[in-house]
Structure 1
């Protein structure tokens, strides 16, 4: 709903007030849903991306998506697609991410988006709704997406934050919040794993989602179902960029589901994809061989803990 043309560049040193000379710039198609579609495509699963597009920025974005091999369903809007800017400070090793709010959408444009989702749902195995909602979007827009998916009988995987998450009340097959997003949703600090599991279970008990997968960054992931919780460790690697790692996890997870795998194996593929993504610049896609290498290692180790919830 709120895609972006992602610009990534390096700077020798980021300093206040002074002009920061950047180099090594690259442009990628960005936005949660677009990233998931591109990353799933690399893993061999044909994907379609439904996204808004406006102005010259939107035209360039759509061109980049099409080049990746993903089938495009762009919805024209009156506003101009946003740009996001990431600067890698070589002196400190820190990454600075500048994210714009995006264009405002009116009611007619949102209706067009829902109609496009309904159209692709007719032939989809899964629908992934991912990313922030743009200004003007109805706070319950993702609930409307869930209703469309329910009517089509297609499982919905949702990865969003803020109002887009708190206004969802039902119909999600799998919800993938980060720990920060789960905290925002629950209104609690969730300092322990027990508290994190409890917060995820509350969403399941309320009927918001059947399953919750909490991404924990460097601490791995936490899968919570109606009967158990499973903690997965992360793979330790030197990160080039953290941009898009969560989207890579969703892509790997969804690819596993399309292949008919069990949830545990799907999450392992998601972690492998996220690990491979950490080692690529900007929002560029990973290599499939790298994902398979990490996945093989994770499958062999099987170092995760399972706790019964009842």
Structure 2
């Protein structure tokens, strides 16, 4: 009897409309009024959608990333993406791709993150992004719209992406905050991944305890805003709410070196495992494993496959907390 081969993973398309060239370094102590002598610097192509695509690829998937790029910074960014052999489509823009700065203070272990605004996009530029997404969506696949919106882009941009995905039979995943998140939820999406702070801001309150977290996540599912809500809680773990109920999972014990990219890694593993046919509980475990693996890396480095799979196996022995 012939062995049954696993079905190929469903396609994953990511969009990064406001990418950032991530610059990271170290200094002994951050203080004003003095030159701060720094250690070696590192450059990475950052931004939500690109980070998601990079981690999907590291974990064995084959994503397609769409991103904007412009100016000298954009050229450097493009070369870094190409060096990773990440399948990508680039939307050229007149403005220069932004930079983000991460400084690790070696004397205290504190991390300082400076997130720049990004260039203003013209209407033809952001409409070109919409058109490219529309042309690249594959029925049955996933569309991940992640990261901040740069100046010039309408607040309902991710809602428009969600509409395109639904019209073409794909599942839309949104990782955003503020008005962009609110507009996407009003349109309705397959999955959102807010932090505790982002979800609290959406409801105009502070989520002060576990019950408030669970109630807020469940509300988005109940009112049809999202089929799934993955609420990330840092060291306190994560919550997954869906029509099937609510699950809570603690993070494994790891040494935290940097939190940069942990949320993107979480989302990448979640979507990839779903695309590979795993159920939502198994995908949730993988997501927590990827986020936890990323915090063990330095500066703007993302997770590595071996670490994710090791933590996945560890989490498979851990029971979910049911709500």
Shorter-chain TM-score range: over 0.9
What does 1:10-159 correspond to in 2, within 5 Å?
10-122=26-138, 125-159=141-175
1:290 and 2:307 correspond: yes
Contact in 2 for aligned 1:177/1:214 (Cα 8 Å) = yes
- How far is the alpha carbon of 1:205 from its aligned partner? 2.7
Give the equivalent residue in structure 1 for 2:12.
none
1:286 to partner: Cα distance? 2.2
Q: How many residues matched?
A: 306
Q: Please list the CA deviations of residues 217-250 of structure 1 after superposition, one character each: whole Å capped at 9, or x if unmatched.
A: 0000001112411111011211111100000000
Q: Give the equivalent residue in structure 1 for 2:260.
A: 243
Unaligned ranges ≥5, structure 1: none
Cα distance in structure 1, aligned partners of 2:22 and 2:299: 8
The answer to whether the 8 Å contact 2:18/2:118 transfers is: yes
Q: Report the secondary structure of 2:310's partner residue.
A: helix
The corresponding residue for 2:241 is 224
SS at the partner of 1:109?
helix
> Structure 1 stretches (4+) deviating beyond 4 angstroms?
none
- Summarize deviations over 1:35-71 as a string: whole Å, max 9, x none: 0000110000001111111101111111111211211
Q: Does 1:275 align with 2:296?
A: no
> In structure 1, what is the Cα distance between the partners aligned to 2:139 and 2:248?
33
Alignment of 1:127-206 (within 5 A): 127-168=143-184, 169-206=186-223
Write out per-residue CA displacement over residues 181-221 of structure 1, whole angstroms, 9 at most, x where no aligned residue: 00110111121222222212222233221111100000000
Q: Residue 135 of structure 1: CA displacement?
A: 1.1
CA RMSD of aligned residues (A): 1.2
Q: Distance in 1 between matches of 2:293 and 2:135?
A: 32
Alpha-carbon distance in 1 for matches of 2:136, 2:38: 40
Contact 1:42 1:285 (8 Å CA) reproduced:
no
Deviations along 1:10-36, whole A, 9 cap, x unmatched? Answer: 102111111111112100000000000
Instruction: Please give the secondary structure, in 2, of the residue aligned with 1:167.
Output: helix
The more displaced of 216-225 and 202-211 is 202-211
Aligned ranges for residues 206-217 of structure 1 at < 5 Å? 206-217=223-234
Q: Kindly state the Cα deviation for residue 293 of structure 1 after the two structures are TM-superposed.
A: 0.4
Hey, what does 1:258 align to over in structure 2?
275
Question: Is there any run of 5+ residues in structure 2 with no aligned partner, and where?
Answer: 1-16
Q: What is the 5 A alignment of 1:299-310? A: 299-301=316-318, 303-307=319-323
Q: How far off its partner does 1:170 sit?
A: 2.3
Q: How far apart are residue 107 of structure 1 and its match? A: 1.2
Bigger shift: 187-196 or 47-56? 187-196
TM-score by length of 1: 0.96
Counterpart check, 1:233 vs 2:233:
no
In 2, are the aligned partners of 1:55 and 1:80 still within 8 Å (CA)?
yes
Tell me, in whole angstroms, the C-alpha distance in 2 between the residues paired with 1:295 and 1:227: 22
Q: TM-score, normalising length from structure 2? A: 0.92
